Amino acid sequence: MSTTLEHQHSANFLPTRFTQVKRINNNNEVTGFYSDCISRLRDASQWNYMSLFSFAYKVTVHDRCGLQVNRELEKGDYLKVIANADFKGNRLLWFAVEDIYHQKTIDSSEETVCITLRESENPGLITELSPINSLKSKCELHLRRLINTISMDIKIIHQNTLDQSKNFLSYFRWEMFAKQILLQL
């Protein structure tokens, strides 16, 4: 049962979804291709070269303390996204890596990798008095393999504000990002 407050908050958020699907005809290539897709998804340094950012943004990975690291994303990390001078709203945005999970069925016919990102404050400025999981924009990246079909599903839930020009998430080219995660090299 949802409360009136929860309903008011959910009414202030707009969901958007982007999905891309690719079928691999050669069953021997499916596992390797899916592993490559996982690597592209988990290595945020590669995102700088994808159409999601059109070379207009720089993405770096930071640990819980705000120190820059060079590794695949882990739960508790932060993404620092800096927009170029052409962006009219907030040029700096932080995302907390709220969750990462990898599920696989026993018979290995299906597996899913999901990364959940939530808009955050600079991790170096977060204290024990900072609000936890405040209602901010959120992004869920789902990479799924079902036998020989691989899909990339991106769900964006962003705040419904009067000035959408300041909504950083709406400027990313998510559909191109999904296509490039599924790019067969």
**At a CB cut-off of 8 Å and minimum separation 6, what does 127 contact?**
none
Angle between helices 174-181 and 27-42 (to 10 degrees): 130
Token pair of 39 as six digits:
């690597």
Taking the CA atoms of 166, 168, 174 and 180 in sequence, report the sign of the dihedral they define. Answer: positive
Predicted confidence at residue 174, as pLDDT, reads 78
Mean pLDDT by 10 residues, the chain (185 residues): 39 73 91 94 85 69 92 94 66 89 92 93 67 69 95 82 51 78 79
CATH number of the CATH domain containing 67:
3.30.530
At residue 112, the pLDDT reads 97
pLDDT of res. 3: 36
- Tell which residue, 51, 58, 28, has the closest CA to residue 172: 51
Determine the pLDDT at residue 6. 37
Q: Per the domain annotation, does 67 fall within a domain?
A: yes
- Taking CA atoms, 133 is separated from 101, 141, 165, in Å, by 19, 18, 24
In a domain, residue 2? The reply is no
Does residue 122 fall inside a structural domain? yes
**How many folded domains does the chain comprise?**
1
| Domain presence at residue 47 | yes
Q: 16 near 139, Cβ under 8 Å? A: no
Residues facing residue 20 across a β-bridge: 152
Any domain includes 25: yes
Number of alpha helices (DSSP H) and beta strands (DSSP E) in the chain: 3, 8
Domain range for residue 12? 8-181
Give φ, ψ of 85 to 5 degrees: -65, -15
